[in-house]
């Protein structure tokens, strides 16, 4: 057994104090609530926290998962690996064979735990560029541009600047005014970083890649030190459970949490949502909870569309196939997006040590590092998935002088413009509104691909042997759909837990590929810089599977290998219940209300209409913060509204 697996199980390093209000343990279930929230994850707990600021508002959150045990594997940033060693995942979630990826299928890590993905994720806490959110507004969502959402990024967080010596050592610049103070989620920097990362940051500088003053300001082109959702001082995870539940639950008799219960469907009276049907994972018994004001969906990008579809809110053809009585014909499940990624593998002869992965292969070192963490909250275990990133708009991606490629911005634009909806959504039953919405997005994406202030590729490097390139703005789209077997389930206690079908649709748009090819070429130039050589010693690179090490493949040869090595997702799924006008395939309005029905809202990552150039967690918190204000305003609640 790996050393790190052993320490997962050891005593927790930080536990919040105070009683929590878990239904069945601390309080009895109410007869009804003002708001019933399906899913107590990143967004669900944020909204519940904000709504219950008013003591007259009652909220029940129903989550399929347990409270996590706050053991080291959750709380210590360096022990988190997001790969499923912990028992907090929906079982058996896989994707369909991907035609653009050599028909490979993939595991889809989907959290089933209070706090959702914020409980098990890599803690990278960056926000998108101004252009990301302005694009949402441009698509027909008034109030959701940068100016409309930026205050909620700030409201969500308590930003701590890096230690001055650390900032000077790593050339980290920041602007305190660009960030939030006093919010529930801690955004901070680790006190330690892996020395070889200098080969990445300085190597990029040697390629004339700039460093923005503070990437949180909305301008994030270039070398980026991303904060982590980590409590400074103790260097433990800051997440939705600790910040939006533990922090307040003991003093809020109006905030109830029901764990280990799976939401099966939304219950309607005519076109009005009146409650939620859920089932106990312990007894298999089902029940209905009434919502006096609203049902709020926050079960995430895979389960929210599935639940809505099984409840009769979905595309007509799917509801007919399922035999579900239709409530409203809406394109739930379409417009599915994630950040697919490729990588180069670097073989070092003599890197500055320790590198990120050293402790995984050396138990003595791991023990010493862990002692350091417990003694001084410092060292490699204080670091989450990593903090050194680079965000490159197309012109910077193609800028290195020695890069040999036929790819140009114009050639990418040509490919994007000539991609048709039939490439993306080949099935004839695709709703026309989805096609119209995709075409509207294509127009905006073409502008963003050509913009020098909108990153299209992210490079991430934490000194593990892999340097990763994420496609930030795919033109390809996927679909999530409930199945007939979802209706019955394999057994009573797991009813509601079976996943929907998930089709990523990766690389169906021809214009997505050149970004990846250019990224491979860019990473090869980076590895040759004097700074990289000094940090790693002489190295060679290889892709997976191995390319010719002389790097003289054609663009087409590199592209062919991408289909074999690309992974379709970085666990950043969004878009399946998109906030868009109805004629553009929208499922929810700018108020996040589901079209065509009453008293039903969606507040999770599924409402994001266009994936931002960022790891999505901080955007999800900001969306949920804004959602809470929209709901409060709707019901005349003024406490805590911005
Ligand atoms: C492994 C992994 C690593 C990631 N790393 C990062 C990162 O480093 N930085 C970053 O910015 N983003 C990261 N993300 C993405 C980010 O965490 C998510 O985008 C965000 O947390 C999603 O929030 P949400 O509220 O939409 O869903 P979630 O937080 O997933 O919440 C959904 C909740 O619904 C519950 N649920 C689901 N179905 C049901 C049901 N039927 N009944 C009852 N409850 C249900 C789940 O238990 C869960 O609590 C990562 C995600 C994953 C999975």
- Cα(365)–Cα(359) distance, rounded to whole angstroms? 6
Q: How many residues does the chain have?
A: 642
Helix (H, G, I), strand (E, B) or coil at 62: strand
How is domain 190-226+339-474+509-570 classified at the CATH fold level?
Glucose Oxidase; domain 3 (3.30.560)
Is 628 within 8 Å of 637 (Cβ atoms)? no
pLDDT at 545: 54
- Work out the end-to-end distance of the chain between its first and last CA atoms, rounded to an integer number of angstroms: 50
Neighbours of 307 (CB within 10 A): 26
The Å distance, Cα 81 to ligand 1 centre, comes to 15
Is 409 within 8 Å of 450 (Cβ atoms)? yes
Which ligand 1 atom is the nearest neighbour of the CA of 123?
8
- Cα(26)–Cα(245) distance, rounded to whole angstroms? 14
- Cα(511)–Cα(270) distance, rounded to whole angstroms? 44
User: Of the candidates 441, 425, 460, which has an alpha carbon nearest to the alpha carbon of residue 572?
Assistant: 460
- Cα(240)–Cα(185) distance, rounded to whole angstroms? 8
| Helix residue spans in 392-492 (DSSP H) | 394-397, 409-418, 421-424, 432-450, 484-488
Which ligand 1 atom is the nearest neighbour of the CA of 240?
29
Which residues touch 269 (CB under 8 Å, ≥6 apart)?
none
Q: Which helix (H) or strand (E) holds 367?
A: helix 363-376
User: Of the candidates 337, 241, 229, which has an alpha carbon nearest to the alpha carbon of residue 39?
Assistant: 241
Which residues touch 15 (CB under 8 Å, ≥6 apart)?
70
Which residues touch 391 (CB under 8 Å, ≥6 apart)?
129, 215, 220, 221, 222, 224, 455, 457, 458, 472, 613
Report helix angle 432-450 to 130-138, nearest 10.
Answer: 150
- Cα(511)–Cα(415) distance, rounded to whole angstroms? 5
Cross-strand pairs, 279: 262, 286
Is 567 within 8 Å of 511 (Cβ atoms)? no
* Three-state secondary structure string covering 471-534: ECCCCCCEEEECCHHHHHCCCHHHCCCCCCEEECCCCCCCCHHHHHHHHHHHHHHHHCCHHHHH
pLDDT at 463: 93
pLDDT at 547: 61
- CA distances for 385 relative to 191, 200, 338, angstroms: 14, 16, 18
Q: Which helix (H) or strand (E) holds 329?
A: strand 328-329
Please indicate whether residue 407, judged by its CB atom, sits closer than 6 Å to ligand 1.
Answer: no
pLDDT at 537: 79
User: Of the candidates 317, 334, 456, 325, which has an alpha carbon nearest to the alpha carbon of residue 397?
Assistant: 456
The CATH number of 16-69+115-167+239-333+572-642, from 3.20.10.10, 3.50.50.60, 3.10.20.600, 1.10.10.10, is 3.50.50.60
Q: Classify the phi-psi angles of 49: left when phi > 0, otherwise alpha if psi is within -120 to 50, otherwise beta.
A: alpha
Whether the bond into 163 is cis, omega within 30 of 0:
no
Please indicate whether residue 385, judged by its CB atom, sits closer than 6 Å to ligand 1.
Answer: yes
- Tell me the domain boundaries of the chain: 16-69+115-167+239-333+572-642, 190-226+339-474+509-570
How many angstroms from the chain centroid is the CA of residue 230? 16
* Two structure tokens written together for 21: 């209000």
Structure letter (DSSP) for residue 579? B
Neighbours of 130 (CB within 10 A): 18
Which residues touch 219 (CB under 8 Å, ≥6 apart)?
129, 130, 212, 213, 453
Is 564 within 8 Å of 584 (Cβ atoms)? no
**Any idea which residues carry the catalytic annotation?**
572, 615
Report the DSSP pairing between strands 539-543 and 341-348: antiparallel
Which ligand 1 atom is the nearest neighbour of the CA of 262?
42
Structure letter (DSSP) for residue 583? G
Cross-strand pairs, 310: none
Please indicate whether residue 611, judged by its CB atom, sits closer than 6 Å to ligand 1.
Answer: no
Report helix angle 555-565 to 512-527, nearest 10.
Answer: 100
The Å distance, Cα 619 to ligand 1 centre, comes to 12
pLDDT at 491: 87
Cross-strand pairs, 391: 222, 458
- Cα(82)–Cα(587) distance, rounded to whole angstroms? 30
The Å distance, Cα 346 to ligand 1 centre, comes to 31
Is 456 within 8 Å of 473 (Cβ atoms)? yes
Q: Nearest residue CA, atom 12 of ligand 1?
A: 617
Q: Nearest residue CA, atom 46 of ligand 1?
A: 112
Q: Nearest residue CA, atom 3 of ligand 1?
A: 121
The Å distance, Cα 66 to ligand 1 centre, comes to 14
DSSP structure string for 70-99: --HHHHSGGG---SS-SS-B-TT-BPPPBG
Report the DSSP pairing between strands 272-280 and 286-297: antiparallel
pLDDT at 10: 42
What ipTM does this complex have? 1.00
Please indicate whether residue 615, judged by its CB atom, sits closer than 6 Å to ligand 1.
Answer: yes
Which residue in the block uniquely carries the two structure tokens 């007869």? 31
Q: Please give the annotated binding residues for FAD, written as ranges.
A: 42-43, 113, 121-124, 263
Please indicate whether residue 605, judged by its CB atom, sits closer than 6 Å to ligand 1.
Answer: yes
pLDDT at 551: 66
Is 248 within 8 Å of 255 (Cβ atoms)? yes
| Helix residue spans in 421-511 (DSSP H) | 421-424, 432-450, 484-488
Helix (H, G, I), strand (E, B) or coil at 586: coil
Please indicate whether residue 500, judged by its CB atom, sits closer than 6 Å to ligand 1.
Answer: no
Please indicate whether residue 308, judged by its CB atom, sits closer than 6 Å to ligand 1.
Answer: no
* Two structure tokens written together for 6: 């052993």
pLDDT at 13: 36
Weakly modelled stretches of the chain, pLDDT under 70: 1-21, 81-85, 539-551
Please indicate whether residue 532, judged by its CB atom, sits closer than 6 Å to ligand 1.
Answer: no
* Mutate which of 44, 67, 86, 121 for ligand 1 pocket (most atoms within 8 A of beta carbon): 121
Which residue in the block uniquely carries the two structure tokens 């609530």? 33
Q: Nearest residue CA, atom 41 of ligand 1?
A: 263
């Amino acid at each position: 057994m790996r050393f790190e697996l052993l320490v997962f199980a050891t005593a927790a390093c930080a536990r919040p104090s105070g009683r929590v209000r878990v239904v069945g343990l601390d309080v009895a279930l109410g007869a009804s609530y003002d708001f019933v929230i399906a899913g107590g994850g990143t967004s669900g707990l944020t909204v519940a926290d904000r709504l219950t600021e008013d003591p007259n508002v009652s909220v029940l959150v129903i989550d399929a998962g347990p409270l996590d045990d706050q053991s080291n594997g959750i709380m210590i940033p360096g022990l988190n690996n997001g790969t499923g060693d912990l028992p907090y995942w929906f079982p058996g979630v896989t994707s369909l064979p991907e035609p653009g990826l050599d028909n490979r299928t993939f595991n889809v890590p989907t959290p089933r735990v209070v706090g959702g993905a914020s409980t098990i994720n890599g803690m990278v806490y960056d926000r998108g560029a101004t252009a990301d959110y302005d694009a949402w507004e441009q698509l027909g969502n008034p109030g959701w541009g940068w100016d409309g959402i930026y205050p909620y990024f700030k409201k969500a967080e308590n930003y701590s600047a890096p230690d001055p010596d650390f900032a000077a050592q790593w050339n980290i610049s920041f602007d305190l005014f660009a960030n939030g103070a006093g919010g529930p989620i801690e955004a901070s920097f680790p006190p330690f970083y892996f020395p070889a990362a200098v080969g990445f940051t300085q190597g990029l500088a040697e390629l004339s890649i700039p460093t923005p003053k503070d990437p949180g300001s909305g301008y994030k082109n270039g070398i980026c030190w991303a904060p982590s959702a980590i409590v400074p001082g103790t260097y433990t995870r800051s997440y939705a459970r600790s910040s939006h539940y533990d922090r307040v639950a003991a003093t809020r008799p109006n905030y109830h949490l029901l764990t280990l219960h799976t939401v099966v469907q939304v219950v309607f009276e005519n076109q009005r949502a009146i409650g939620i049907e859920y089932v106990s994972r312990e007894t298999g018994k089902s029940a209905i909870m009434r919502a006096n004001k609203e049902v709020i969906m926050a079960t995430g990008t895979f389960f929210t569309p599935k639940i809505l579809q099984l409840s009769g809110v979905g595309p007509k053809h799917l509801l007919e196939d399922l035999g579900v009585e239709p409530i409203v014909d809406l394109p739930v499940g379409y417009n599915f997006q994630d950040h697919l990624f490729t990588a180069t593998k670097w073989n070092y002869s003599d890197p500055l040590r320790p590198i990120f992965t050293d402790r995984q292969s050396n138990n003595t070192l791991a023990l010493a590092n862990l002692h350091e963490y417990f003694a001084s909250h410092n060292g490699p275990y204080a670091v989450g998935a990593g903090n050194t990133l680079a965000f490159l708009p197309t012109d910077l991606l193609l800028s290195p002088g020695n890069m040999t490629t036929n790819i140009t911005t114009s050639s990418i634009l040509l490919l994007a413009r000539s991609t048709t909806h039939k490439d993306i959504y080949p099935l004839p039953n695709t709703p026309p509104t989805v096609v119209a919405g995709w075409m509207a997005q294509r127009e905006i994406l073409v502008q963003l691909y050509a913009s020098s202030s909108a990153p299209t590729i992210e490079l991430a490097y934490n000194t593990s042997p892999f340097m990763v390139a994420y496609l930030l703005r795919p033109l390809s789209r996927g679909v999530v759909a409930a199945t007939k077997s979802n209706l019955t389930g394999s057994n009573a206690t797991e009813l509601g837990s079976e996943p929907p079908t998930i089709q990523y649709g990766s690389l169906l748009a021809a214009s997505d590929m050149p970004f990846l090819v250019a990224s491979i070429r860019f990473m090869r130039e980076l590895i040759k810089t004097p700074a990289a050589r000094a940090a790693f010693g002489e190295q060679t690179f290889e892709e997976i599977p191995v390319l010719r090490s002389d790097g003289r493949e054609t663009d087409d040869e590199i592209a062919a290998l991408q289909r074999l090595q690309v992974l379709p997702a970085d666990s950043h799924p969004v878009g399946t219940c998109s906030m868009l006008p109805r004629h553009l395939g929208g499922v929810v309005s700018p108020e996040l209300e589901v079209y065509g029905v009453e008293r039903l809202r969606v507040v999770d990552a599924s409402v994001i209409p266009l994936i931002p150039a960022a790891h999505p967690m901080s955007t999800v918190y900001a969306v949920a913060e804004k959602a809470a204000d929209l709901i409060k305003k709707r019901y005349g609640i003024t406490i805590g509204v911005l």
